[in-house]
Amino acid sequence: MIYLARPNLSGKEWEYVKKCLDENWISVAGEFIPQFEQKIAEYCQVKYAVATSSGTAALHIAMRVLNIGHQDAVIVPTLTFVASVNAICYVGASPVFIDVYPNTWQINTELIETYLLQHTYYKNGFFYDKDTHKCVKAILAVNTLGNIPDMIAIQRIANKFNLVLIEDAAEALGSCYYQDKAGSIGKVSILSFNGNKVITTGGGGMLLTQQKEISAHAKHLIHQAKVNGREYIHDEIGYNYRLLNILAAIGLAQMEQLPQFLNKKKEIHAFYQQNLVPLGFVPQKLTDGVSSNYWLSTFILPTEVNKQSLLDFLYQNGIEARSLWKPMHTLDMFCKSKYISHDNCAETIYSKAISLPSGTDISLKELQKVVDKIKEFVAKS
Ligand SMILES: Cc1ncc(COP(=O)(O)O)c(C=O)c1O
């Protein structure tokens, strides 16, 4: 099977993991955790990085450290992975879904402003949703598929409407927005090291911030909010969200290979683009100022090509390709939430987009096979 994106463990993973096993440091303490945090902080150009058990856990902690709760609402694109929205709900806040641009597939900043101007009222420095009366506290900007939304516009809107910017950079390690690294743009940003990401720890995440108090609070919360000292005293409701040393060891070895991984992702995307654009496949357009990590090469299919039939055909031929996420406003648990859109671009993109095998260990022969099989299918369509 040619997989969508599988871990590429070709560096010092074994060596570092062996060290953990040999020295008996496999759990929530050990030298690799601060080393991995520091490596990510340096790379992303942020002052503080807090390793967590997953990207979802980091998002949950982001909500907590920013004091977002059940009286609040958070603006989020409808085209994202469900974890972004689940984290909003974990703290009792309400998502407000915003449609995306048809070409970049990132949150539509004009629609964010439309929502704030037409659907909220101002009181004591904050903007409240006219229907739910929830305080609109934050924009959760998602760097979808390694692209990054128009952060200049988002930051301007955030300043104008007194909102906090949270950056979900789960998919975007290695991407840049002008001079800024993905993961450094939000007041709080997060990364994921899930198995299919550019670098992986098997499962894991990171919370990034420039602010010492936020980092200290995040560290406290992921340690069950335990007060320093030998007694078991906890001063608020916390979580067991720490990353294990043995996983941080893998993360460190992965970070050492990040430049090669990013080059390979670029080559994969260029290969698909060169072969598939002439067939009418349309790639994601990058937002101005973005250089992408090309996490997953994703294309909109020509009109005559049926998405499900192509996915099935590829699977029968030993190729794992996949659909994008069903837009969040269409999921049962979120369908009553507010959704701001002109023409439902997210649903159009969802109905026609597929992600192709993009793992950094894919060979040229495998890439050629993917393209050949797609050509074979398109010729029959
Ligand atoms: C946009 C986005 N946010 C959050 C997450 C959650 O990360 P994790 O799987 O590490 O919990 C992911 C991916 O997995 C994601 O793609």
Best residue among 40, 52, 56 to mutate for probing ligand 1's pocket (most ligand atoms within 8 Å of CB) is 56
Q: Kindly give the distance from the C-alpha atom of residue 192 to the centroid of ligand 1, in angstroms, as a whole number.
A: 6
CATH code assigned at 204: 3.40.640.10
Residues 149-173 as b/e (b if ≥16 CB within 10 A, e otherwise) read: bbbebbbebbeebebbbbbbbbbbb
Residue 82 maps to a domain: yes
Residue 381 in tokens: 């369509």
Contact criterion met (CB below 8 Å) for 311 and 323: yes
Tens digits of per-residue pLDDT, 28-45? 999 999 999 999 999 999
Whole-number pLDDT of residue 254: 98
Instruction: Answer yes or no: is 206 within a domain.
Output: yes
Q: Is the Cβ atom of 166 under 6 angstroms away from ligand 1?
A: no
Element housing 207 (H / E): strand 205-209
Do 188 and 265 share a structural domain? no
DSSP letter at 100 equals B
Question: Residue ranges of the chain with pLDDT lower than 70?
Answer: none
Q: What residues make up the domain containing 50?
A: 13-255
Where is the domain boundary, 255, 278, 310? 255
Alpha-carbon distances, residue 338 vs 52, 71, 120, 330 (angstroms) = 31, 15, 12, 11
Give this prediction's pTM: 0.98
* Domain-located, residue 304: yes
CA distance 370 to 310: 11
**In a domain? residue 8:** no
Please give the tally of structural domains in the chain: 2
Question: So what's the pLDDT on residue 228?
Answer: 87
Q: Is 150 found in the same domain as 81?
A: yes
Residue 327 gets which letter from DSSP? Answer: P
Q: 305 C-alpha vs ligand 1 centroid, how far in Å?
A: 29
| Digit-coded pLDDT (tens) for 178-203 | 999 999 999 999 999 999 999 999 99
For the domain that residue 327 is a member of, what is the CATH number? 3.90.1150.10
CA distances from 259 to 11, 176, 254, 297 (A): 12, 14, 10, 18
